[in-house]
């Protein structure tokens, strides 16, 4: 099955220009003007490809080719929104590749047996409102209501917040998405393609370490209760624990605040965050338990107070075994041995998994860069990913 790589690149370029920021990258926040322009552009492409288009109550855009057998749909696509200074491929690739794949299938093979749909999901990034997965949550019928700010933004785009529940779908059989890896695993191992096995579970903790703020000149070392020195020992321990548990366990301390934050005062209090991820719930819990216990021990040894609070917890989500196997077969038929890997980032598939079979393909990110203007994938990998996506849609729908 041939796809046109030049067309693929051209469409990605066209989308990337929409919402271009003067200091680099593109920004298409949910319901903003750039977002609306991008949705219109994709709608035109879908129509040109011979698909029947429709927008649901939250602004997800659907393009549909009716199957001769009827029944539940085979869906492909990704999200159309971006982070600030976003790159050319995150989300955009899944939409452009999906529509290019379906277009070439319709051209070469005519009407599908199963209904085929391409979706541009309205929002995934949570970069304008705290709405993460707004589009896929609407599809799974798990949004209760829109807060006033989001409701106002919806109305500005002619969408009625009272109708959100109507966006729910229970007639999707399978959802497959092509996405960039957004990390450096594939590139560093020289692997051109991966089938995602699971999307990691995340726990985010906040640790408060309390000591005593004392004079930096008059307090001897043995009499100090230095919260920052204690926190530093904890940070070191957190890194060692994640390393000793091995892949795919990861732990990150990304925020740290010191009080009183003075050059000549022994730090009295430190608050830092820990982001913990693992593809397996047991693995993630083991990571968290060891970190909690070691931080507590360090605080006791140093006569410091400690409080650990869970900010957020999300379980890992496995991709459907049938879809994983099918994607691996499709890759093989395209002459490539795909590896399996765990996604360290969140994706719409983890939400949609509650309602349908899901699967994802990853292509390498150059230098592992993503969510920045440097985000890139070599044209040959973009073409390969799109060819394998096309093959898998053919296997599912024809």
Return the number of the residue (90 or 226) whose C-beta is nearest Zn ion. 90
Q: Which stretch binds Zn ion (CB under 5 A): 23-31, 90-98, 114-122, 256-264?
A: 90-98
Tell which positions 21-60 bind Zn ion, by CB under 5 A. none
Return the number of the residue (87 or 211) whose C-beta is nearest Zn ion. 87
55 with 342: CB under 8 angstroms?
no
Return the number of the residue (118 or 242) whose C-beta is nearest Zn ion. 118
- Rounded Cα distance, 352 and 15, in Å: 25
Tell which positions 124-183 bind Zn ion, by CB under 5 A. none
Helix (H, G, I), strand (E, B) or coil at 210: strand
Q: Taking the complex as a whole, how short is the minimal distance between the CB of residue 60 and Zn ion, in angstroms?
A: 15
- Two structure tokens written together for 107: 């051209």
Q: List the Cα angle 257/261/265 in 5-degree steps.
A: 135
Q: Taking the complex as a whole, how short is the minimal distance between the CB of residue 136 and Zn ion, in angstroms?
A: 11
Q: Measuring CA to CA, which residue among 277, 279, 278, 260 is closest to residue 269?
A: 260
**Rule CB under 5 A: is residue 91 a binding residue for Zn ion?**
yes
Sort strands 73-79 and 172-180 into parallel, antiparallel or unpaired: parallel
Give start and end residues of each alpha helix (H) in the chain.
5-17, 33-48, 92-109, 134-139, 148-156, 185-189, 227-245, 281-301, 321-333, 348-352, 379-397
Q: Taking the complex as a whole, how short is the minimal distance between the CB of residue 108 and Zn ion, in angstroms?
A: 29
Q: Which stretch binds Zn ion (CB under 5 A): 43-51, 89-97, 260-268, 370-378?
A: 89-97
Task: Identify the residue among 81, 90, 226, 383 touching Zn ion (CB under 5 A).
Answer: 90
Q: Measuring CA to CA, which residue among 163, 136, 187, 195 is closest to residue 388?
A: 195
Return the number of the residue (180 or 266) whose C-beta is nearest Zn ion. 180
**Rule CB under 5 A: is residue 348 a binding residue for Zn ion?**
no
Q: Which stretch binds Zn ion (CB under 5 A): 87-95, 186-194, 209-217, 261-269?
A: 87-95
Return the number of the residue (100 or 127) whose C-beta is nearest Zn ion. 127
Q: Which stretch binds Zn ion (CB under 5 A): 83-91, 126-134, 141-149, 276-284?
A: 83-91
**Rule CB under 5 A: is residue 123 a binding residue for Zn ion?**
no
| Interface size with Zn ion, residues (CB under 5 A) | 2
Q: Taking the complex as a whole, how short is the minimal distance between the CB of residue 299 and Zn ion, in angstroms?
A: 38
- Start-to-end CA distance of the chain, whole Å, equals 13
Q: Measuring CA to CA, which residue among 256, 259, 257, 226 is closest to residue 238?
A: 256
61 with 80: CB under 8 angstroms?
yes
Q: Which stretch binds Zn ion (CB under 5 A): 88-96, 107-115, 139-147, 336-344?
A: 88-96
Return the number of the residue (43 or 90) whose C-beta is nearest Zn ion. 90
- Rounded Cα distance, 370 and 347, in Å: 14
Query: CB within 8 A of 52, min separation 6: which ones?
Result: 63, 64, 65, 66
Q: In the complex, which residues of this chain contact Zn ion (CB under 5 A)?
A: 90-91
């Amino acid at each position: 099955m041939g796809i046109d790589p030049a067309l693929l690149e051209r469409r990605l370029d066209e989308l990337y220009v929409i919402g271009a920021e003067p200091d680099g990258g593109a920004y298409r926040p949910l319901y903003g003007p750039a977002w609306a322009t991008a949705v219109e552009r994709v709608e035109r492409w879908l129509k040109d490809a011979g698909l029947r288009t429709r927008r649901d109550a939250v602004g997800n855009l659907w393009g549909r080719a009716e199957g001769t057998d009827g029944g539940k749909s085979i869906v492909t696509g990704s999200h159309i929104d971006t982070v600030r200074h976003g790159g050319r491929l995150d989300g955009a690739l899944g939409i452009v590749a999906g529509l290019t794949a379906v277009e070439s299938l319709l051209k070469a093979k005519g009407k599908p047996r199963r209904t085929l749909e391409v979706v541009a999901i309205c929002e995934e990034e949570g970069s304008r409102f705290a709405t993460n997965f707004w589009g896929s949550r609407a599809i799974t019928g798990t949004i209760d209501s829109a807060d006033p700010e989001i409701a106002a933004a919806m109305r500005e785009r002619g969408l009625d917040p009272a109708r959100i529940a109507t966006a729910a779908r229970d007639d999707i059989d399978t959802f497959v998405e092509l996405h960039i890896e957004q990390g450096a695993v594939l590139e560093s191992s020289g692997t051109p393609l991966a089938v995602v096995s699971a999307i990691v579970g995340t726990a985010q903790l906040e640790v408060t370490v309390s000591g005593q703020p004392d004079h930096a000149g008059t307090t001897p070392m043995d009499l100090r209760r230095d919260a920052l020195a204690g926190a530093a020992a904890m940070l070191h321990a957190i890194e060692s624990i994640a390393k000793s548990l091995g892949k795919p366990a990861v732990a990150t301390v990304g925020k740290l605040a010191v009080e009183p934050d003075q050059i000549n005062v022994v730090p009295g209090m430190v608050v830092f965050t820990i982001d913990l991820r693992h593809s397996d719930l047991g693995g993630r819990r083991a990571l968290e338990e060891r970190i909690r216990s070691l931080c507590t021990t360090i605080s006791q040894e140093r006569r410091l107070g400690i409080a650990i609070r869970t900010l957020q917890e999300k379980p890992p989500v496995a991709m459907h075994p049938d879809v994983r196997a099918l994607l691996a077969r499709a890759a093989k038929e395209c002459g490539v041995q795909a590896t399996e890997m765990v996604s360290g980032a969140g994706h719409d598939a983890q939400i949609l998994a509650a309602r349908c079979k899901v699967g994802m393909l990853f292509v390498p990110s150059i230098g592992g860069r993503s969510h920045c203007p440097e985000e890139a994938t070599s044209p040959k990998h973009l073409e390969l990913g799109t060819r394998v996506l096309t093959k898998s849609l053919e296997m599912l729908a024809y």
